[in-house]
Amino acid sequence: MSENKSLPARSEIPVQETWALESIFPIPADWEAACTTLENLLPLLTVYQGRLNESPQVLLEAIQKLEEVGALLGKIVTYANNASSVDTFDQAATARAGQSRSLGAKAGAAMAFFDPELMSIGFDTIKEWMKTTPELAFFNQYIDRLKKRSAHVRSGEVEQILALAGDPFSGAFSIFNMLNNADLKFQPASASDGTQLEIGQSSIGSLITHPDRQVRRSAWQNYADGYLAFKNTSAATLTTAIKQDVFTAQVRGYSSSLHASLEPNNVPVEVFHNLIEVFKQNLPTWHKYWRVRRKALKLETFGVYDIKAPLTESKPVVPYEQAVDWICAGMAPLGEEYVSIMRRGCLEDRWVDRALNRGKREGAFSSGSFGTRPFIMMSYADDLFSLSTLAHELGHSMHSYYSRANQRFIYSRYGLFVAEVASNFNQATVRDYLMRTQTAPDFQIALIEEAMSNYHRYFFIMPTLARFELEMHTRAEKGAPLNADILIGILANLFKEGYGNEVEFDRDRIGITWAQFLHMYMNFYVYQYATGISGAHALSHGVTAGQAGAAEGYLEFLKSGGSRYPLEALKLAGVDMTNPEPVSASFGVLADLVDRLEALVG
C-alpha cells in the first residue's frame, strides 16, 4: 500500500529548530514602530543635502546620520525577509517583506544626493579635510572607491530616480520568489515500494540523494516538470531582470553588464574570463567523474539524478549536534575565540533555522545586518551534505560577525567577490579534519561524495550558469530575442558540453535549470562561487598545514570587511586571484578526489 509523507506546517516546528528573529524585534508591532522611526529619520537626513561643502564637521554629521539610517534599515529588512523566507504562505510576513523593499527604495532616494555632492566638493578638498579632521580619517577608503567609480555616478537628481526605481526593479526577484517558493506545485516522488514523497524546496535535496533510484529519478523529473509548466512566466521574469541589468549598466556608462558588476569592486573582467577558460579546459575531469560514478553504481545508463546517489549502503547519519561538534573541531586552527562564538551561535543563540517545513524557500543562506546576530536558513537533513551546508553558511556568518564587530557601518559589508571565500574555507577545512579523523572506508567514500557534490555545485553548475548568464546579457545588450525555448536551448547545449557522452541527456529538463536559481537575479554573482572555492582552498591549505601567520592572516581578512578592495584583502591573506593559478590548483584537487574515489570503489 502506498503511503504519503508530507512536510509539517511552520506552526508545528519546535522553536529550537528556528532562528531567533525576536532578537531583532520581539513582536511585529516593534518592527512596525521601527518602520515609523525610519520614516521620521529620512527628513533629518535630507537636511544635509546641498550642505556637505560647508565644513568637515557637517560632512561628519551627515555620515553619522547615513550610518544610523542604514543600520536601522538593515534590521527592518532582515527581520521582514527572513520571516517571509521560512514561511512563504505567511501573507503578513510577505507583506512586511514588500514594505521593507519600499522603505529601502525611499531611504536610497533620500541618500542619493550624497555621492554626487561629494564629487562636486572635489576629492582633493575632502582628502585635505581628512588630514585636518582626524574623526574623518576612516573615510579614506570610501572616497577612494568613489573616485574610481566617479565616471559612473550620475547627478543627484538621476541618482535619486535610480534609487526610487529600486522598488519596482525588485519586481522580477519578488515574482520569482513567490512562484518558486509558494505557488509552484510538484507531483510527489514515488519510491519503489509505492510510497509517495512530497517534493518541496526544503525536501528536494534529500530526495535526489536518496538510495532508491526510483525516488531520485521521479523527484528530479517532477521537480523539473514543475518549472517547465511555468517556463514562459519564468522566462519573462528572468529576461526582465536581465534587461534591468543592461539598463542600469547603460545609464551608468559601463560598457557591459559584466563590467557594471565587476568594476565597482575593482575586479578586472579578465578574472571572469580566466575562470571560464580554465573550467572549459578541465571538463574532461568531470567526464571521468560521471564514468566512475556510473561504474560504481553498476548502471548501464547514468542520469543527472544519479549524480548524488549514495555509493555505499551505510550512509553516515549526522545529527545536528554532531555536525556542530565536528565543525568546531575542524575550525580549531583558527583559535578558541572563533570556535566558541560559532558553537554558541549554533546551540544557544539560535542563529540557525534548520527545520524542514512546508512553505520554506529553497536553498540556504546566511543573513543579518549591522547590530544583529548572524542568521542561517537551511533545511537540515541529518547527513554529511547538511553538515557541509551548515559549515558553508557558518563561514558566511563568521565573516559577517567579525566584519561587523571590527568595522564601522559603511565598511561592515564586504564585496560579493570575497563572500564565497569564507564559506568555502569552512567547508574545505572541516572536510580536511574529517578526512584525517574518520578513516572507515565507507565514511571516506561518503566524504568524497560530499566534497564532489560541493564541487559539482560550485565548479560545474555555477560556471555553466555563468556562461549562460554571459550569453543572455550579451543577447540583451544586442537587442536579440529571448524567450523560454531560447533560454532552455542555450543552457541545454552548455550542459551537454559539460556532461559529454557520459550522462543521459534530457534536453528540456536539463535546460530549465536556469529557472531554479535565485542567483540568476543577481547580476553576475554565480561565477564568484568558483573563484571563491579556489581562493578558499588556497587559504585553507595554509591554515591546516600550520604555515606561520596563515590563521592570523585569515582572521584579519575576515575582520577587514569592506575596508579593502576584495582582491587586495585576499592578497594580504595569502592568495592572488588575478592569476588563474588558484583556479587551476582547485581543479587539481578535484581531479585527485576523482582518482581517490575511483580507487575506493574499485
Average pLDDT over residues 63-91: 96
**How open is the CA angle 492-494-499, to the nearest 5 degrees?**
85
Residue 4 is predicted with a pLDDT of: 47
Any domain includes 110? yes
Q: Is the pLDDT of residue 294 over 50?
A: yes
Tens digits of residue pLDDT in 530-568: 999 999 999 999 999 999 999 999 999 999 999 999 999
**How open is the CA angle 239-242-245, to the nearest 5 degrees?**
155
Task: Tell me the one-letter amino acid at 333.
Answer: P
Q: Is the pLDDT of residue 602 over 80?
A: no
Any domain includes 26? yes
Q: Can 393 be counted among the known catalytic residues?
A: yes
- In percent, how much of the chain has pLDDT > 70? 99
Cβ atoms of 48 and 58 within 8 Å: the answer is yes
**How open is the CA angle 351-355-358, to the nearest 5 degrees?**
135
- Band (403; pLDDT cuts 50, 70, 90): very high
Cβ atoms of 438 and 447 within 8 Å: the answer is yes
DSSP 506: -
Site of grid cell 548501464: 300
Q: Which domain holds residue 62?
A: 21-169
Determine which one of 263, 362, 393, 420 is catalytic: 393
pTM of the model: 0.85
CA dihedral over 17, 20, 26, 32, signed as positive or negative: negative
**CATH number (domain holding residue 146):** 1.20.140.70
Tens digits of residue pLDDT in 2-38: 444 578 999 999 999 999 999 999 999 999 999 999 9
Any domain includes 520? no
123, 146, 169 - which closes a domain: 169
Residue 5 is predicted with a pLDDT of: 59
Any domain includes 384? yes
Tens digits of residue pLDDT in 109-130: 999 999 999 999 999 999 999 9
The domain tally of the chain equals 2
Can you tell me the distance from the alpha carbon of 26 to that of 566, in angstroms, rounded to the nearest whole number?
36
The per-residue pLDDT of the chain, averaged, comes to 94
Tens digits of residue pLDDT in 455-472: 999 999 999 999 999 999
Any domain includes 149? yes
Any domain includes 485? no
Can you tell me the distance from the alpha carbon of 328 to that of 346, in angstroms, rounded to the nearest whole number?
10
Tens digits of residue pLDDT in 200-218: 887 898 899 999 999 999 9
Can you tell me the distance from the alpha carbon of 256 to that of 383, in angstroms, rounded to the nearest whole number?
42
106, 136, 169 - which closes a domain: 169
Can you tell me the distance from the alpha carbon of 281 to that of 360, in angstroms, rounded to the nearest whole number?
38
**CATH number (domain holding residue 403):** 1.10.1370.20
- In percent, how much of the chain has pLDDT > 90? 87
Residue 546: all three cell numbers together:
600550520
Can you tell me the distance from the alpha carbon of 1 to that of 193, in angstroms, rounded to the nearest whole number?
8
Any domain includes 234? no
Residue 33 is predicted with a pLDDT of: 98
Residue 2 is predicted with a pLDDT of: 40
116, 145, 169 - which closes a domain: 169
Any domain includes 174? no
